[in-house]
Amino acid sequence: SRTDLEYFVIAGGPREILKETLLLTGGAPVFPKWSSGFINSEWGIDQKKLLEHVSTYRKKNIPIDAFILDFDWKSWGEDDYGEWRWNTDTFPDGASGRLAKKLEAQGITLGGIFKPRIHVNTEQGRFAQKHGWFWPNKPSYSDYFSQAPVNDLNFAIPECRAWFWRHLVPAYDAGMRAYWNDEADEGFDSREFMHMQQALYEGQRSHDGRRVWSINRNSYAGNQRFAYALWSGDIQSTWKSMKSQRERLLSAVNLGMMRWCMDTGGFNGTPDPENYARWMQFAAFCPIFRVHGSMDVQRQPWFYGEKAEKAASDAIRLRYSLLPYIYSYEKQYHDSGVYLVRPLFWENAESGFDNYVDGWYFGDWLAVFPVVDSGEKKKRIVLPPGKWYGYFDGKEYSGGEQFIPCDSENWSDIPLFIREGAVIPHAEPVASTAFASYRSGDIDVFPADAQSSLSHYDDEGATYR
């Protein structure tokens, strides 16, 4: 019945389509450099445990850049401001900023969970009700965490967005620098997640010059302009669930949702050591590398035995050695709408890669085929046309079907291949990107008959300057 519809038809290959879509729906701000590293999320944590975890990462020489806190960081439901305020019982140095400063000295950025709902029987709940900022005709409901009545804010209202941010400023100034937005897909508008992150993005941009970062549980066209990433929700801790994440990743990329991650290790349950090790190797070649689990579940490598710890830690270190290569694609995404992960069919439409999920391009010059089956001794893969080299053994491969041996005993291998003509900057792994400079380093070159290049990009990584 509407008469004001506009239709856009975009013709071309995947890159052209995504670039034009970006022009229509808005460009993506560059993410902070720390978010290219490894991130640990946890539910069921306090300040003491957090500091112990960070100390163990550092003692074991396992790189990490950020820690994202669940409900535990807030005084959720405690008083009129509990939805925005540090819980000083669980994090005594949170509200003062001393905790963030202590972690910052170790190269750790702090982030926390945010919900679209607030408690209704509070000063702020009554204020929101008076101004019509809850969803129309939606009755309040019992919050599963506080057991008190709550309702969801309508972030499509600009005044509501600004009001929400003002309450968050003290926590932000105390070091809460990253946003994990959750459960905003249970309202009445499919754009609720986008508008919720819009509140945080616009608020932070008006407050200081730091880069904004968020993950969200749902996606909508145009969300990328608010420094937006997607994670795949509360998945199970099983081999089957891990395997199915490949389709989620590649489908998100095809829709232009380039910044994607998952609860590595699964949210519900505990993976066996082999599953955990292989999942970490898979996640190391996702746009965002992050672990998480349900309440009081640990996802640190040392909780899964020596073999899994070594395999997982090596995957993290490999990611960090490739950060000069990985970070170069931040600028490419900002400019063209294309980021790190690309389905193989993008460049091989005539080569039978339709619906192929066993592997993907990681940037222009790498292809990865994660091991996703327990006890696998030999993995069948299909390499794109051309000449390839094994990343770890230097062996030469031709495009087409290959059977790659897998280390079913120690899970130490990742089927990773370098395309002929590759130009790959890399560096020695460091504990955190906060301690790294990628203005100098090594470049691996794999000559080919045709000319090839890589645009290497670097900056100070923290602000929009």
Out of 79, 173, 234, 407, the active site residue is: 234
- Is 182 among the residues known to form the active site? yes
Round to whole Å and give the CA distance between 216 and 231. 6
The answer to whether 32 touches 211, Cβ cutoff 8 Å, is yes
Residue reference for tokens 């006890």:
375
Closest CA to 366 of 341, 335, 348: 341
- Is 234 among the residues known to form the active site? yes
Out of 46, 80, 185, 458, the active site residue is: 185
Residue reference for tokens 């490894």:
38
The answer to whether 264 touches 232, Cβ cutoff 8 Å, is no
The answer to whether 113 touches 73, Cβ cutoff 8 Å, is yes
Q: Left (φ > 0), alpha (ψ -120 to 50) or beta: where does 233 sit? A: left
Closest CA to 33 of 218, 232, 361, 288: 288
Question: Does an H or E element contain 389, and which?
Answer: strand 378-390
Round to whole Å and give the CA distance between 176 and 214. 12
- Is 393 among the residues known to form the active site? no
Q: How many CA atoms lie within 13 A of 120 on its CB side?
A: 19
Out of 182, 263, 364, 413, the active site residue is: 182
Round to whole Å and give the CA distance between 331 and 339. 9
Q: Which residues are identified as catalytic? A: 182, 185, 234
